[in-house]
């Protein structure tokens, strides 16, 4: 036990001795390996640094002889200017330098820019926008050149109405006094480009007092800017530009009016039609207006091409012109007035009175349906055409149609045919349409009214066969008056009457011709996509002729309402429809609905026999309800797909109506079925 205690004490003492020895070794060194001390270094040798070489000092401990060396960096040359040869802007200078320690010498080249003497004075231009400068003391070149910079001192304060006096002083010594006249400090607010009535106008206001003014900065235009024959600035009618020339030259036999462009030709033709320039050709006196066509060296065929553009909304509608007379270098044309040719000839023969009246559409529950009751009050006058911007004076039904189809607001001469037709047309529209209807609905009602109330005057056409040119214009059947006052007409007058009715409702409607027939085109948004498209409407064919002789009848049909050019070309190809292409599909039968089996609604287009049977069942009930006590012929109409078996369809018709006749018409990719019921 005592052994372990002694060993423990020994170890503790040993550790303490080692720690003390380590502390001593860190604080100094041992002299001869035995004595601890602090180094005492002394310089024992050295070499001074020069301009180019490093120096050093060697140190040694006087106790333990430990040594180390301290480096002294090279001093570099200490150059001092020794000799100066001054430089100028004309010659180089030299500067000699010598090192103050080692005596080394170096030389540098000196340069100098232009410089003015310290006491040089400013030279200046005596002008507000001038400059000032000094001269180089060696060569006399301008130095320190700059524009005048003025300090302005107010002597007398001025404003827009009172003169002011101000002193302008520049650092160069130039000064002057300025008198400012009382004037406005205008700023341009807006600029209006020149028109045919005024030049370019600048509208200004004063930045100081707020005064305003208008200044013309450029002359007015030397020409009009026309849109639809009307100047967009002064509203001058382009047609009136030719009034004096037409009036003067038109009174001389075989007068010539030179035409310099196609646009001018179209304008002249519009003038002839719109103002009904009268030719004596209708009286066989041979007097005409003659238009030269030497402006482009083309033949008279070119004139024919222009004059047959009767469809375009923006082109001349040269309707009711005589067959042109072609000369070697001129083109003759004349238009009669129906103001003096408005009596229906005694030889005109009306069509058979036994016409079947189709009435089923009047009972169909349809979004497009109207029942013929008054839709507007009898004193209603707010027709849409009255909102048109440009006006045109009219006196005949032809000029009335022209104005309405060209976007004008017609102003009918009091007591004229135009006024009578306009009043009659407005009275019709009061009864069949209202302002809540879409354009398509309105056109449908106009189409139905035309088909139901206007008969085609076959006798008028027969009467003119083989007669001299212009004979047709001796018959009222060729004018819209016949439609509204006689309830009859031919394709030309019927299509114009349709155009007048549509135009009053401000619906774009023009007449087109082809294959000795006339019909209409309308521009409407039928699919409600915000884009208007052209469609063909043939109001004359709303009454379809069937049979012959004393058994000839007319059957109302919807098959020619809003169809395409392609569909219309199957009966009447047109050569002048390129300016109003009707290529959008619309199916009227899919837009006429009726109630079937409670509240369910079905249209009049059958895709299969099942749908056809439903339509026939509806018509059977409708017929019994409406005609069980009235012995009246009736036409039942619907359309069915060509895939429907014709034999099976005939069986279903017979099972419901007995032995009846029916007409099948081509319609798009379908058939239109007209069932004729003779009670």
pLDDT of residue 497: 96
Please give the sequence-ordered ranges of beta strands (E in DSSP) within 451-579, or none if there are none: 455-456, 488-489, 508-514, 517-524, 533-537, 543-546, 553-556, 561-563
Q: How many CB atoms lie within 10 A of CB 271?
A: 22
Q: Is the pLDDT of residue 30 over 60?
A: no
Please give the sequence-ordered ranges of beta strands (E in DSSP) within 136-194, or none if there are none: 142-147, 150-156, 164-170, 175-180, 186-192
Instruction: Decide which of 656 and 285 is more confident.
Output: 656
Distance CA(262)–CA(273), nearest Å, equals: 17
Instruction: Taking residues 338-355, report their average pLDDT.
Output: 31
Distance CA(205)–CA(187), nearest Å, equals: 6
Instruction: Decide which of 298 and 348 is more confident.
Output: 298
Q: Is the pLDDT of residue 486 over 50?
A: yes
Q: Is the pLDDT of residue 505 over 90?
A: yes
Please give the sequence-ordered ranges of beta strands (E in DSSP) within 391-470, or none if there are none: 391-394, 409-412, 455-456
Q: Is the pLDDT of residue 75 over 50?
A: yes
Q: Is the pLDDT of residue 113 over 60?
A: yes
Distance CA(342)–CA(338), nearest Å, equals: 5
- As given in the structure block, the two tokens for residue 588 are 């009227």
Distance CA(303)–CA(331), nearest Å, equals: 8
Instruction: Taking residues 213-239, report their average pLDDT.
Output: 76
pLDDT of residue 62: 87
Which segment, 259-273, 287-301, 377-391, 545-559, is predicted with the most confidence on average? Answer: 377-391
Q: How far out from the chain centre does Cα 386 lie?
A: 25
pLDDT of residue 269: 63
Q: Is the pLDDT of residue 554 over 80?
A: no
pLDDT of residue 258: 56
Fold of 360-586: C8orf32 fold (3.10.620)
pLDDT of residue 583: 87
Instruction: Decide which of 290 and 501 is more confident.
Output: 501
Instruction: Taking residues 500-517, report their average pLDDT.
Output: 88
Instruction: Decide which of 243 and 171 is more confident.
Output: 171
Sign of CA dihedral 556, 557, 562, 568: negative
Q: Is the pLDDT of residue 344 over 50?
A: no
Instruction: Taking residues 90-97, report their average pLDDT.
Output: 89
pLDDT band at 540 (very low <50, low <70, confident <90, very high): very high
Please give the sequence-ordered ranges of beta strands (E in DSSP) within 515-586, or none if there are none: 517-524, 533-537, 543-546, 553-556, 561-563
Dihedral angle over CA of 533, 534, 540, 543, nearest 10: -40
Distance CA(358)–CA(557), nearest Å, equals: 8
pLDDT band at 678 (very low <50, low <70, confident <90, very high): low
Domain boundaries, the chain: 79-110, 123-180, 186-218, 229-333, 360-586, 591-677
pLDDT band at 288 (very low <50, low <70, confident <90, very high): very low
> What is the average pLDDT score of the chain?
75
Lowest model confidence (mean pLDDT) among 11-15, 447-451, 622-626: 622-626
pLDDT of residue 407: 81
pLDDT of residue 628: 53
pLDDT of residue 179: 87
561-600 pLDDT, tens digit per residue, is: 999 988 988 887 764 444 578 889 899 999 887 766 555 5
195-209 pLDDT, tens digit per residue, is: 888 899 999 999 888
Lowest model confidence (mean pLDDT) among 159-173, 251-265, 484-498: 251-265
Contacts 24+ apart (CB under 8 A), 271-274: 271/239, 271/242, 271/243, 271/246, 272/246, 272/318, 272/321, 272/333, 272/335, 273/316, 273/317, 273/318, 273/319, 273/320, 273/335, 273/398, 273/399, 273/402, 274/239, 274/392, 274/399, 274/402, 274/403, 274/406
Find the helix or strand (DSSP H, E) in which 106 lies. Answer: strand 105-110
Instruction: Decide which of 679 and 235 is more confident.
Output: 235
Distance CA(508)–CA(406), nearest Å, equals: 8
- As given in the structure block, the two tokens for residue 272 are 């002839």
Distance CA(93)–CA(194), nearest Å, equals: 70
pLDDT band at 358 (very low <50, low <70, confident <90, very high): very low
pLDDT of residue 272: 60
Name the 3-class secondary structure at 91: coil
Distance CA(405)–CA(411), nearest Å, equals: 14
pLDDT of residue 402: 82
């Amino acid at each position: 036990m005592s052994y372990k205690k002694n060993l423990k004490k020994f170890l503790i003492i040993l550790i303490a001795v080692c720690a003390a020895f380590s502390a001593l070794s860190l604080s100094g060194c041992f002299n001869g390996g035995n004595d601890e001390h602090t180094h005492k270094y002394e310089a024992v040798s050295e070499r001074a640094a020069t301009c180019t070489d490093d120096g050093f000092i060697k140190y040694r401990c006087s106790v333990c002889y430990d040594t180390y060396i301290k480096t002294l960096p090279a001093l570099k040359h200490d150059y001092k200017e020794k000799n100066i040869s001054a430089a100028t802007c004309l010659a180089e200078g030299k500067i000699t330098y010598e090192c103050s320690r080692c005596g080394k010498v170096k030389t540098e080249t000196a340069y100098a820019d232009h410089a003015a003497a310290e006491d040089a004075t400013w030279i200046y231009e005596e002008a507000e926008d001038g400059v000032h400068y000094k001269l180089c003391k060696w060569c006399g070149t301008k130095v320190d050149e700059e524009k005048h910079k003025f300090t302005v001192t107010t002597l007398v304060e001025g404003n827009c109405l009172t003169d002011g006096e101000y002193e302008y002083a520049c650092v160069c010594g130039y000064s002057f006094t300025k008198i400012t006249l009382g004037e406005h400090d205008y700023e341009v607010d807006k600029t209006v480009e020149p028109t045919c009535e005024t030049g370019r106008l600048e509208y200004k206001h004063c930045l100081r007092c707020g005064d305003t003014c208008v200044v013309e900065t450029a002359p007015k235009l030397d020409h009009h800017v026309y849109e639809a024959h009307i100047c967009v600035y002064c509203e001058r009618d382009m047609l009136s530009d030719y009034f004096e020339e037409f009036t003067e030259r038109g009174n001389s036999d075989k007068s010539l009016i030179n035409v310099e462009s196609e646009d001018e030709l179209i304008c002249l033709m519009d003038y002839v039609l719109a103002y009904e320039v009268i030719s004596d050709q209708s009286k066989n006196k041979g007097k005409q207006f003659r238009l030269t066509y030497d402006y482009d060296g083309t033949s008279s065929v070119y004139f024919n091409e222009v004059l047959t553009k009767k469809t375009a909304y923006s082109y001349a509608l040269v309707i009711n012109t005589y067959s042109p007379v072609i000369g070697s270098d001129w083109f003759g044309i004349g238009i009669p007035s129906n103001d003096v040719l408005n009596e229906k000839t005694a030889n005109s023969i009306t069509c058979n009175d036994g016409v079947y009246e189709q009435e089923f559409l009047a009972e169909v529950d349809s979004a497009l349906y109207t029942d013929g009751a008054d839709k507007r009050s009898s004193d209603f006058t707010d027709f849409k055409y009255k909102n048109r911007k440009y006006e045109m004076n009219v006196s005949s039904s032809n000029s009335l149609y022209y104005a309405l189809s060209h976007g004008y607001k017609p102003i009918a001469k009091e007591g004229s045919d135009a006024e009578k037709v306009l009043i009659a047309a407005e009275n019709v529209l009061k009864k069949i349409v209202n302002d809540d209807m879409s354009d398509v609905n309105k056109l449908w009602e106009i189409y139905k009214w035309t088909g139901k109330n206007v008969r085609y005057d076959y006798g008028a056409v027969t009467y003119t066969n083989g007669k001299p040119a212009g004979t047709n214009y001796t018959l009222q059947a060729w004018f819209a008056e016949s439609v509204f006052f006689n309830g009859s007409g031919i394709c030309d007058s019927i299509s114009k009457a349709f155009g007048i009715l549509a135009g009053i409702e401000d619906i774009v409607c023009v007449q087109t011709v082809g294959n000795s027939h006339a019909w209409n085109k309308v521009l409407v948004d039928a699919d409600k996509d915000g884009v208007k498209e052209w469609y063909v409407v043939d109001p004359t064919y709303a009454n379809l002729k069937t049979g012959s002789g004393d058994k000839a009848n007319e059957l109302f049909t919807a098959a020619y309402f809003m169809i395409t050019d392609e569909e219309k070309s199957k009966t009447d190809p047109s050569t002048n429809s390129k300016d109003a292409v009707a290529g959008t599909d619309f199916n009227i039968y899919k837009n006429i609905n009726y109630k079937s089996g409670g509240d369910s609604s079905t249209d009049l287009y059958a895709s299969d026999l099942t749908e056809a049977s439903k339509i026939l069942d509806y018509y059977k009930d409708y017929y019994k309800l409406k005609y069980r006590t009235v012995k009246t012929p009736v036409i039942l109409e619907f359309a069915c797909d060509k895939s429907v078996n014709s034999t099976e369809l005939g069986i279903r018709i017979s099972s419901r109506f007995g032995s009846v006749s029916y007409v099948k018409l081509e319609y798009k990719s379908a058939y239109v079925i007209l069932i004729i019921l003779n009670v």
